[in-house]
Amino acid sequence: MSVETRRSLLRYAVIGVGMSGILAAKRLLERDDIVVTLFEKSTQVGGTWRENRYPGLTCDVMAHAYTYSFAPNPDWSAVMAGGPEIREYFENVWRRYGVDRVTRFGAEVTLCEWRGSYWYLEATDGTRAEFDVVIVASGVLHHPNMPALPGLSDFAGEVFHSARWPEDLSLEGRSIGVVGNGSTGVQIVSALAGTARVTQFQRTPQWIMQIDNRRFTDQERAYFRANPEVVEGIRKDPEYLRLVKRFNDAIVEPESAAMAEIEAAARHYLETAVHDSVLREKLRPDYRAACKRLIYSCDYYAAVQRPGTTVVREGITGVERGGVRTRDGVLHELDILVLATGFRADRFIRPTRVVGCSGVTLDDAWAVRPSAYLAVAVPGFPNFFLLNGPTGPVGNFSLIDIAEAQWGYIEQLLEEVRSGRCVALAPTPVAMQDYDARRVVAARKTIFATGCQSWYLDAEGVPATWPWGYTAFFEAMAAPNLEHFERFSA
């Protein structure tokens, strides 16, 4: 096939059918000059909302804001929606816009190799094919992080990672241990307290921000359905957007008045919601609020004060047949052990083997840390673009908005290919080096670098995030600087 033909009918591979992959495919299917194939390693849609199915799973972003701009949803049940409802939303969008017709399930991409003017892909469903453009929408939170707990295999009860929650798990009359107290651990404990005996093992407490996650009435949802402009108004509510911007400006400037306000609110919630002074001190972090991702909850502090719920701060020395033993010598007898220990946030598309120009692999390029120019592209990997990839914005806001902005940027780059001005583009090494050097300096000044351990930090302790604020990101995505990109010809 000639280069000219390929320019007129570009072949796209999209990897991952979660939030970002559905977005990319939907936008691509609006065109008539492309062929698109979605590869999904699982058998279902949903990304992280497919991986996670534990009790209490809830998004920490306002539901009406956690929607695509082209697919508002008047039927959210609450201010912040639960996991099953979000997964259903993505499935509906996937079908409504025809993305289902170009999806291959059970097709994990194992090899992605640049061969001079195209990408060669192999997948576990037997695919061996050529593509002009690869869109990586594999997400971040899908490789479970398994803790190295001595004796874990000796446990006689059921043990599993929170992202592998068994269907129809019986909890009645059983003792459940939860290892971890990030968003997942907090949500699980909140959901199970009062219905089972729960012991939460927490290495470090979390700052909690209070929310009112009220449910919408039938009348409200009917009103939303009859008045679509109201839903759009909620999604673009100026006060909500102001708070999102203020929060992210505070992350960038830890000594700002905005951050002082956040810290004061978190302290006030702890002081007023937890009545027992001993428990309160167990739950008091020794680091600044927002150094770890802030947790939003309306019921965690109430849950841990219920009879039958225990918070354990003593470190775990090992797991035994009958339960978990901690440093104080106590054996906490358990029937079920849940590992709410998060994900390996440095993996992204890996373990897929990605080979770029001159045989350089993505593992080579990311030997120091995973990084991408403006969070969307990597030098030496032409026409290889990431959505919500490394160094992108993270925080308590909608990553759908981030992905849509990134897609607009990528589309502008691809116009250079569609127009025939080049076969492919990738950032120049100089542009990448400059970006990453500036980003690392700025990241070390953010709240994430003020003295806590979190999944935001890379192997060298540098926050692996966009460090210049929310508005700065959207300004950067408005239009690419083509001088920062290398053009490839046939």
pLDDT tens track for 22-62: 999 999 999 988 899 999 999 999 999 999 999 999 999 99
> How many Cβ atoms are within 10 Å of 291's Cβ, its own excluded?
22
* Strand order across the 384-386 sheet: 103-104, 34-39, 10-15, 133-136, 384-386
C-alpha distances out from residue 1 to 9, 120, 131, 305, 370, Å: 11, 14, 12, 67, 34
Task: Return the bridge partners of 112, or none.
Answer: 121, 354
- Reply yes or no: is the peptide bond before residue 351 cis, omega within 30 of 0: yes
Q: Are residues 279 and 162 in the same domain?
A: yes
Strand partners, 247: none
Give the bridge partners for 377, in sequence order: 373, 385
Q: What CATH number is given to the structural domain containing 39?
A: 3.50.50.60
User: Quick one: what percent of the chain has pLDDT higher than 70?
Assistant: 98
Average pLDDT of the chain, as a whole number = 94
Least confident of 86-90, 236-240, 471-475: 236-240
413-418 long-range Cβ contacts below 8 angstroms, 24+ apart: 413/377, 413/385, 413/480, 413/485, 414/10, 414/133, 414/383, 416/482, 416/487, 417/7, 417/10, 417/132, 417/133, 417/383, 418/7, 418/10, 418/33
Please say whether the dihedral angle defined by the alpha carbons of residues 223, 227, 231 and 233, taken in this order, is positive or negative. Answer: negative
Residues 270 and 248: their CA atoms lie apart, in Å, by 22
DSSP 296: E
- The reported pTM is 0.95
Length of the chain: 490
**266 and 156 fall within a common domain:** yes
Same domain, 249 and 388: no
Mean pLDDT in residue range 384-413: 94
* End-of-domain residue from the set 339, 359, 381: 339
For residues 431 and 452, membership in a common domain is answered with yes
pLDDT tops 80 at residue 4: no
Based on the number of CB atoms within 10 Å of its own CB, is 460 exposed (0-12), middle (13-18) or buried (19 or more)? exposed
> Are 189 and 69 part of one and the same domain?
no
pLDDT tens column, 89-132: 999 999 999 999 999 999 999 999 999 999 999 999 999 999 99
**Tokens matching residue 6:** 């390929």
Do 130 and 233 have their domain in common?
Answer: no
Q: Looking at the structure, tell me whether residues 282 and 377 fall in a common domain.
A: no
How many structural domains is the chain composed of? 2
Q: What is the pLDDT of residue 6?
A: 45
CA distances from 187 to 21, 303, 473 (A): 27, 10, 30
**Would you tell me how many other CB atoms lie within 10 Å of the CB of residue 28?**
23
Write the pLDDT tens digit of every residue in 261-302. 999 999 999 999 999 999 999 999 999 999 999 999 999 999
* 36/114 same-domain check: yes
Half-sphere exposure of 347 (CA within 13 A, CB side): 15
CB 237 within 8 A of CB 61: no
Both 192 and 104 in a single domain? no
Q: Which of 339, 354, 375 is the last residue of a domain?
A: 339
Rounded to an integer, what distance in angstroms lies between the CA atom of residue 400 and that of residue 298? 24
Which of 339, 370, 397 terminates a domain? The answer is 339
- Report the alpha-carbon distance of residue 339 to residue 335 in Å, rounded: 13
Question: Residue 216 sits in which domain range?
Answer: 152-339
Q: What average pLDDT does range 335-363 have in this prediction?
A: 95
Q: What is the structure's pLDDT at 249?
A: 87
> How far is the C-alpha of 163 from the C-alpha of 187, rounded, in Å?
13
Q: How far is CA 476 from CA 30, 432, 439, 468, in A?
A: 25, 14, 13, 10
CA distances from 482 to 414, 432, 453 (A): 11, 13, 37
Reduced to 3 states, what is the DSSP secondary structure of residue 209? strand
Burial class from Cβ neighbours inside 10 Å (0-12, 13-18, 19+) for residue 146 reads: exposed
What is the C-alpha R_g of the chain?
23
Same domain membership, residue 368 and residue 330:
no
**CA distance linking residue 176 with residue 198, whole number of Å:** 5
Q: What are phi and psi of 234, to 5 degrees?
A: -65, -45
Is the domain of 330 the same as that of 349?
no
Q: Is the domain of 174 the same as that of 312?
A: yes
Instruction: Give 329: exposed, middle or buried? Use CB within 10 Å, 0-12, 13-18, 19+.
Output: exposed
Question: Can you give the pLDDT at residue 440?
Answer: 97
- Which of 109, 98, 103, 114 is CA-nearest to residue 41? 109
Instruction: Write the burial class of residue 351 (CB in 10 Å: 0-12 exposed, 13-18 middle, 19+ buried).
Output: exposed
